[in-house]
Structure 1
Amino acid sequence: MADIYSVNAENIVGGPGRLVVKPWDGTYPETIGEVMSLSSPFSLTGGYWDLGATVEGITINRAFETEDFTVDQVSSPVETSITGWTHNLTTSLAENTVENRQVALIGGTIIETDPVIGTSTTTVSMTAMNGTLLNLTDASAFTVGGYLEVSGETYRIASISGNTVTLERGVTSEIAASASVSPITELGTRRIGYGTVNDVPFYTYALISQKKDGSLYMAVFRKCKVTGDDKEQVFSSAKRVLPLAVNAFPDGNIDSTENVYYEIEQVV
């Protein structure tokens, strides 16, 4: 018997998404390229930044409530009307950064303090990119387990032998001979506070996903606020994730057919 079913496997999609965000300013992208470069390394643009890795997916929910209208002559409703819409986006952020906590937990301003730098010395030879050995003029000011700064980067010290310092990770660029190297006597800090604010800020979220044919999909949520649901973080031996739940609201300056969110999908 001939098969009566019509199935196009190309239309069966799945896979993770890249969730990015920016403060709401009433402007929205018309193309995916206005949010993310379409070539490697796929950098973000337009004021968006990454929320990073997520756990157990990113869920989009769209629902509405109705009110039935009945008449005396009929036992069941003869009409129904939409009385309200709800749109929300939920996930758990695996990257527990200060910036992510600021968004998810309605944190205050992030205040940064610079590290305290000790007396610098110089390298006596070149270190290739990804190398871990720094040969110094004088390593007496450095300590195992401490940190140093070279070429604008911070590295942790794994071991010291004479005037040779071994780093825990390779340098990100070539270090020339006679380069300045400084011990960090106290690391810089980042401070954020959480209080009882009255106003929850609006953000614009974009969710980008790649289909198996290489084309891209993007959903843009115009005007969102985090919900008041509990944001529980558990300090234990397990990895700590950061719950994120936002409600999407209509933008009154946009036509009601797409004033909450919209999708852009590349066509192959």
Structure 2
Amino acid sequence: MIEQTLESCRHVLSEAKLSGEKIDEVVLVGGSTVIPAVRKQIESFFGRTPHVAIDPYKVVAIGAGIQGHLLAGGRRDFLLLDVIPLALGIETLGGTFSKIITGNTTIPIEESETYTTNVDNQTSIDVNIFQGERELIKDCRTLGQFKLRGIPPMKAGLPLVEVMFRVDANGILTVSAIEKRSGKKAEIEVIPFHGLTQFEIERIMEDSFEHAVDDFNERQLIEFRQTAERVFHGIEQCWDVAEKTCQRSPVMKSRSKWM
């Protein structure tokens, strides 16, 4: 139990890019922190005596009260920062996860990325929203989806679709997509962390570390395949234009057998 507590402390310091010496106060939370052995290890870890003026059993309730007061428009001289524990993003070609807001980002936050189409004359795009820390959406948690319609027919790669993620101080996520050339827009609102416990969030983080190498390799393979497909598609288009003067290579004709 004590080692798990210290491991959580190491993780928090690592995410905040701080050392124990940079911490002003260590506030104890929960009944287990009244155990002398736990307090001794925490004091040794941080090099300072933990703050004991607040009852460990009441810390969470006090914090919730302060946050509620701030959200209700109370004190403005008090800053309480909350963060997004897991990355938020959308599905892209091949089932890869494109992270738009990274994990451990302070809220409120607004970030956007620009995407395009992969098929000629595509007039709509499905925006599938996920959260997680893995590279593929099959290993992430789905949050919702919506469709952006009315995109003018164009060659693949020409439409510019800006996907915007906004998370407010209440943790409500709004995702919007707008095609810049036509101005067509669609959006959805979701609660990204509904139903997730702290234990589940920590488990998701652990899984991402354990599978980091395999996930990277699998994503690279998908992206290499997509690049090869685009190259072949471009060559085919050129050959279609000059069909009367050029003869297709047997390699091009059989590409579907090995791609």
Short-chain TM bin: under 0.3
More helix by share: 2
Choose 1 or 2 for highest CA Rg: 1
Q: TM-score, normalised by structure 1?
A: 0.18
The higher relative CO (CA closer than 8 Å, separation ≥ 6) is in 1
Structure with more strand by fraction: 1
